[in-house]
Amino acid sequence: MSDTQPRLHLHDSRTRSTVPFVPLAPDNVRVYYCGPTVYDLAHIGNLRAMLTADVLVRLLRHLYPRVTYVRNITDVDDKINARAHANGESIADLTARTIHDFHADLAAVSILPPDVEPRATHHIGEMQDMIARLIESGHAYEAEGHVLFAVGTYPSYGALSGRTPDDLIAGARVEVAPYKRAPGDFVLWKPSDDQTPGWDSPWGRGRPGWHIECSAMSQRYLGESFDIHGGGSDLLFPHHENERAQSMCCHPHGHFANHWVHNAMLLVNGEKMSKSLGNFLTVRDVLRDTPAEALRLLLLRAQYRSVLNFTREGLNEARQMLDRFYRALENLDPVQDPVPAPDSVVQVLCDDLNTPRALAEMHALADMAMTGDSLAAARLKAAGNLLGLLQDTPEAWFRGGAKVDPARIEGLIAERLAARKARDFARADEIRNDLAAQGIVLEDGPQGTTWRQA
């Protein structure tokens, strides 16, 4: 990061304040995000967390020479076991298909892949090593085939989520089990029967608890201390609280995550998304009739810590905004060399990823580009690249969703032109109206007639 670049400020969930981001090693910023538990298609709430990570990592890569971004996959979990059994398929087939679908859905929305994407089942050894260290240091104990973390041995438990121990117990769905020493103690290892995935261990055949997975994988690829840990606010407690506790107890001389970033939840039509309300939407549900960039832009219109209300009206507005941006890019000089992201856009993104203000800056650039300013158009394109937007050409954007043969449209345009020359205006209007009914808009200009998707 040069002295002339703006300083990045991020809201830190642990301190509950927005602070300057100071990397542990400026030559390699290290970021960990919790990825999917692979038993079903990603929903738009999942997408918001992945998009927040994507914008953050894009900005960090603009500011720093190297970023190592790790996003895990949880492929051992009781939900996976139950779904595979219900489907009558193997766990391997379920997880392989779901991982493929997850990658495809994120790629459609221009979310870049992480540098490392570890799978939990490939790191059982590291998890067992951490569990053994926690037992040895007195922070964990064995009980009836389980290994549990003893919350009372870590005085700072609750500091991340800002809750007292009593609040934590009252606000959590604590599993009542007679083998626990305290109600808040959580599972590090649990036994598996013959029908459940399991691995041999010093504590018997079993499988890991959810929280230990991320601690082991982040330590393996980023070390005992790294810069940023992120995810949705629903993970703050208990998942991230438990991660932090076991990692700090296992590596008491490290910091684990130096900075915590959590995005707010997403509503659908003003209500919490749930299958019981009939408003549960997967990414694929939305992309069936919506351009992927419109979905991405809708999510960027709210700052990541603000609750976002997803509506079809909002999607339409996002699509209209993109129409305007792509219209502005029509003035981009085809021989214009790429330019860096505008300082005005970088500056507002450095203010805790203020994407609404970044979009406002893009509108200002579009205003200038529409007057014929090709440099402003180039800067608009560069701003879009930083936000993962404007990845198409204007021609592809306006015509890519058409359901008819482009050659047929061009033929009808030629027929309409001939009708107008013959002063057969009724036929010319009929062609325009028929195409409009198919979602194709004709635009007459000095250079002739062009078409685009409505």
Which value, in Å, is the radius of gyration of the alpha carbons in the chain? 26
Query: Is residue 214 part of an annotated ligand binding site?
Result: yes
Q: For 378-404, b where at least 16 C-beta lie within 10 A, e where not — what string?
A: bbbbbbbbbbbbbebebeebbbeebee
Torsion of CA 218, 245, 77, 43, to 10 degrees: -70
Residue 34 assigned ligand-binding role:
yes
- Residue 443, annotated ligand binder? no
* Neighbour-count burial of 425, counting CB atoms closer than 10 A to its CB (0-12 exposed, 13-18 middle, 19+ buried): exposed
Q: At what angle do helices 312-329 and 374-387 cross, to 10 degrees?
A: 140
What's the rounded Cα separation, in Å, for the pair 400 and 393?
Answer: 10
**Residue among 77, 196, 181, 90 at smallest CA distance from 138:** 181
How many angstroms separate the CA atoms of 72 and 66, rounded?
Answer: 20
Q: Is 243 assigned to a binding site?
A: yes
Q: How many CB atoms lie under 10 A from the CB of residue 335? A: 6
Residue 73's CB is within 10 A of a number of other CB atoms, namely 23
The closest of 348, 322, 368 to 110, measured between CA atoms, is 322
Q: How many Å apart are CA 241 and CA 156, to the nearest integer?
A: 10
Q: Is 430 annotated as a binding residue?
A: no
Contact 199, 48 (CB under 8 A): no
> Which residues does the annotation place in the binding site?
34, 214, 239, 243, 275
Which segments are annotated as binding site for Zn(2+)?
34, 214, 239, 243
Going by the annotation, the residues of the binding site for ATP are: 275
